[in-house]
Structure 1
Amino acid sequence: MKIMKVEPMGMRYIEPNDDNSTRYTMLVRIETDSGLVGWGEGIAMWPEAVKAAAALIDGGLTALVIGKDPLDTELHWQVMKEHVWWYGGDGGIASFAISAIDMALWDIKGKALQQPLYKLFGGKMLNKLHANASIHVKYFEHQKNADEIKGYIDEGYQSVKVGFGKKGTAKLGLTEEYDMAFVKAVRRAIGPKVGFMVDIGHKVKWDVAHAIRMTKHFAEYGIDWIEEPFEPNQLADFARLKQATGCLLASGERESTVEAYSRLIRTGLIDIVGIDPARSDGITGFLKVLTLVADAKIKFNTHAWSTALTTAASVHLSISSPHCIIMELKPLPSSMQHELVYNPIVQQDGWVLPIEEPGLGVEVDEEAVRKYRFC
């Protein structure tokens, strides 16, 4: 079997889970001479980054894999990583491109071997995954946000992770009083036992003193963890926050390479590592990071907040490791989750079940791809 065609595609869509904002991502379709087709994703996010990642694929990475055996996933990964040493050794746009190709190759491998990917990763370590509603609240009024979140819990989700500093009229992350009132309202609405995580977000700029105060306040309402309260490189601030509060800290979704994850994990500051197979050098890169997570005896969750392709990859990777803590899902129907594929991934009574179909296990609707493609 040989790789015959590699086609990157820029996607533009409206995201209901982000206050109906316009979002972008890149898909890759790889076709083989046997007729098998694999799909992958690189979450480049901005239109110019999507176009740049697609250009890297068209202008360089395709030549490395065309005519080759798609089952040689490790070899192709190593060759691509070596090729981008000058412009992608530390991650970035090159990692989006590599991620998409690598994911598509794994999809082909699973289909060729007639196995769901988790079986190729060593088999099932978990029978099901804890379903978490990962949301960006959008209302200024706390009660409206709390009622929306309670609705997701009533649907069956076992926990909620709320992003601060997002779109809409909510002003989370700016003032102590407003944030405290929000957390109090949500905890009152969902009850004492439901999981509740806070993701501070890039737009929120906390200093250490403020972060310590807020984390201590949040702890009074049973927050499970604080995610990325600082920029990822502010490790000294992470250390001061951890020492002052003892709160579980999460970070990692913005890392791209195995080396970067290794540096982060070695600090001993991060309790839950966020990993995204559509930006962390693909499934192959993700699997290498999982080895580091296992060695450090910590937990991870997948940052799967994009299309059904990344969600599917994340389910397989999560189900194959005992170190997975939650599975994040978008709770509102989304075109890239529910229209892009014929068999979208949904929670069932608070759980996400293993995918048993070969490869990624989701069937892409190519008409939907054409509908949302912009480059």
Structure 2
Amino acid sequence: MKIAKIEAYGIRCPEPNDNGNLRHAALVRVETDCGLVGWGEGIAMWPEAVRAVTVLIEHGFAPMLIGQDPTETEAIWNQMKRHVWWYGEGGIASFAISAIDIALWDIKGKALGVPLYKLFGGKVQDKLPSCASIHVKHATHEENAAEIYGYMEEGYQSVKVGFGKKGQARLGREARYDQDFARTVRERIGDDKGFIIDIGNNVKWDVAHAIRMTKAFEQYGIHWIEEPFHPSDIEAHRQLREATSTLIGTGEREWTVDGYHKLLKSGIVDVVGVDPARVEGITAFRQIINLTGAEKRKFNAHAWSTAITSAASIHLSISSPHCLLMEYKPLPNPMQDELVYEPIKHKDGYAVAPEAPGLGIEVNEDKVREYRFI
């Protein structure tokens, strides 16, 4: 079996879970000479970055990989890494490598007739608790808490709330306001549900404020606080770690295995955020899982994009003892509900892996073309 064709697609569509903002992604379709097709994704996010990724895939990698055996995933991953040595330590090249690598693993599973988790050693966890990952948008804490409670009634076992997002919620601007939000949510959902606060890129905390806020949030039982500072600010994370008892989650903006190795060795992260469509694919993700386990830490697949990334994340997560939960977008949306014929959903509050071969999803190519912008 040989790789016969590699095509890249830039798609965009409105995201109800992000207040209707347009979201962009780079998809790749890899077809073999025997007709097997694999799909992958690079979460390049911005339209110009998606354009750049499609150029790298079709004009950089495709001519090099056509004719090769798609099941030699490790060898091809190393070949792509060598090819981008001049410009590829993170950024656009990592998105392109991610997309192709995921597609090749999809083909590999289909060729062998097994779901990907079997290629990773089997299920270490049969299922994972589901987490509703949201950007609240309402003007009052009571409205936002009611929305979150609604997701708990749907079966979700935890919620992750992003601060600094668009909409009327205004989270991440005022200390007392944010503390009141956390209190209102905890009172509404009860003590048995998980609660994660994601500070994110649009909120700029200094160390003193982060310590005060994290200590305040601790009384509301948050599971972890995510991205409290820019990921490169190791010293700020270290000071927060020393001053509080709350778990710290970070890493979703890291790119490479080496980058994660350094992050883990710094000792400042408890829950490592990893995105297979950003960190150079499934091949790299599996290496990062091993590093995470060696440091006695946990990881969380940052799967907030299309069903392709979600499927890859579930297979990787249930095949490891180091994963805590699985994130979902709770509102119906094109990237999850239209892009594939059977959307990735939680079942009775838990994430379970698709059992069909490869990623276990069938991409609706008509929808890819409908949402394509390049």
TM-score band w.r.t. shorter chain? over 0.9
Partner of 2:87: 87
In structure 1, what is the Cα distance between the partners aligned to 2:33 and 2:347? 38
Instruction: Using the TM superposition, name which of 236-245 and 56-65 deviates more.
Output: 56-65
| Structure 2 SS opposite 1:325 | coil
| Structure 2 SS opposite 1:173 | coil
**1:183–1:218 Cα contact (<8 Å) kept:** yes
How much does 1:140 deviate?
2.2
**1:116–1:356 Cα contact (<8 Å) kept:** yes
The aligned amino acid for 2:249 is A
1:327-353 C-alpha deviation (Å, 9 max, x unpaired): 000000111101100111111111011
**2:252–2:272 Cα contact (<8 Å) kept:** yes
Partner of 2:74: 74
| Structure 2 SS opposite 1:160 | strand
In structure 2, what is the Cα distance between the partners aligned to 1:32 and 1:192? 51
**1:64–1:79 Cα contact (<8 Å) kept:** no
**1:312–1:360 Cα contact (<8 Å) kept:** yes
TM-score by length of 1: 0.99
In structure 2, what is the Cα distance between the partners aligned to 1:234 and 1:256? 16
The aligned amino acid for 1:57 is I
Partner of 2:120: 121
Show structure 1 runs of 5+ residues with no match.
Answer: none
Partner of 2:210: 211
How much does 1:165 deviate?
0.5
The aligned amino acid for 1:8 is A
The aligned amino acid for 2:103 is A
How much does 1:246 deviate?
2.1
| Structure 1 SS opposite 2:292 | helix
| Structure 1 SS opposite 2:180 | helix
Partner of 2:300: 301
Which stretches of structure 1, 4 residues or longer, exceed 2 Å deviation after superposition?
Answer: none
In structure 2, what is the Cα distance between the partners aligned to 1:362 and 1:133? 21
TM-score by length of 2: 0.99
Partner of 1:290: 289
Partner of 1:44: 44
How much does 1:192 deviate?
1.1
Give the 5 Å matches for 1:1-375: 1-88=1-88, 90-375=89-374
The aligned amino acid for 1:87 is Y
Question: How much is the aligned-residue C-alpha RMSD, in angstroms?
Answer: 0.6
| Structure 2 SS opposite 1:292 | helix
**1:138–1:167 Cα contact (<8 Å) kept:** yes
Show structure 2 runs of 5+ residues with no match.
Answer: none
| Structure 2 SS opposite 1:85 | coil
Identity of aligned residues (%): 61
In structure 2, what is the Cα distance between the partners aligned to 1:293 and 1:134? 23
The aligned amino acid for 1:51 is R
In structure 2, what is the Cα distance between the partners aligned to 1:272 and 1:113? 33
How much does 1:277 deviate?
0.3
How much does 1:195 deviate?
0.3
The aligned amino acid for 1:131 is S
1:334-373 C-alpha deviation (Å, 9 max, x unpaired): 1110110011111111101122110000001111111100
The aligned amino acid for 2:52 is A
1:93-120 C-alpha deviation (Å, 9 max, x unpaired): 1000000000000000000000100000
In structure 2, what is the Cα distance between the partners aligned to 1:163 and 1:148? 14
1:307-336 C-alpha deviation (Å, 9 max, x unpaired): 000000000000100111010000001111
The aligned amino acid for 1:148 is E
